[in-house]
A and B are shown apart, each in its own frame.
Chain A
Amino acid sequence: QQQVKQSPQSLIVQKGGISIINCAYENTAFDYFPWYQQFPGKGPALLIAIRPDVSEKKEGRFTISFNKSAKQFSLHIMDSQPGDSATYFCAANYLGGKLIFGQGTELSVKP
């Protein structure tokens, strides 16, 4: 199954709160899991990524948690800011460069 299921579809968080977006996959051939951030009218931009042999990766306020046995991974945004308001996509890499994207999560951080 070449699908990545992402939830929630939309998320509203207060400034300073933690935003959590979850993704699940079936295909164990996926070998790389990036998260992309997309602002309105712009292209997706790579935010952070993880390989399946690592359980957690942190870059600044952004952390990916990866559970290989459950085939799930999540993005945590700590101390969420209004400037983080965007659409976030999880993805999984298949066969060298074929990125399969989740459905996207529209995050709104309220001041």
Chain B
Amino acid sequence: DTAVSQTPKYLVTQMGNDKSIKCEQNLGHDTMYWYKQDSKKFLKIMFSYNNKELIINETVPNRFSPKSPDKAHLNLHINSLELGDSAVYFCASSLSGNQETQYFGPGTRLLVL
């Protein structure tokens, strides 16, 4: 049983393109997150949504736009991709009463050429 799933697993694209990453969780959680892990494995939070409302928005370029159609889904759309966007993007989820305990998805490996 997959708890937090992401699609696609790999994404190779050209600079300037627009791409989306999808995330779904079946844990019954109401809070979801996007993290970026760079080439040095450093993990940094990007966004957090609680019941479809944005609650954490770090200093991320506005080319990145998260969308949460419902509390089980959180998608990440990236416009005008740049070389520096190459990274692994992780989705995570938690309960709002226990937001510090987060469960991560398997990651989406994005390579911008």
Interface residues of A (CB under 8 A from B): 31-32, 34, 36, 38, 41-46, 49, 87, 89, 93, 95-101, 103-104
Contact = CB atoms under 8 A, between A and B. Distances in A.
A22 B24 CA distance: 34
29 contacts: A31-B100, A34-B101, A41-B106, A41-B107, A43-B4, A43-B90, A43-B104, A43-B107, A44-B43, A46-B101, A49-B100, A87-B41, A89-B43, A96-B99, A96-B100, A97-B33, A97-B48, A97-B55, A97-B56, A97-B94, A97-B99, A97-B100, A97-B102, A98-B45, A98-B56, A101-B43, A103-B41, A104-B41, A104-B42
A49 B103 CA distance: 13
Contacts of B90: 43-44
Interface residues of B, number: 24
B93 to A, nearest CB: 10
Interface of B: 4, 31, 33, 40-45, 48, 55-56, 90, 92, 94, 99-107
Contacts of A31: 100
A46 B42 CA distance: 16
The DSSP consensus for interface residues of chain B is: strand
A61 to B, nearest CB: 21
Contacts, number: 58
Given A43-B107, A44-B104, A45-B104, A98 B42 contact: no
Nearest to B55: A97
Contacts of B103: 46
A46 B94 CA distance: 12
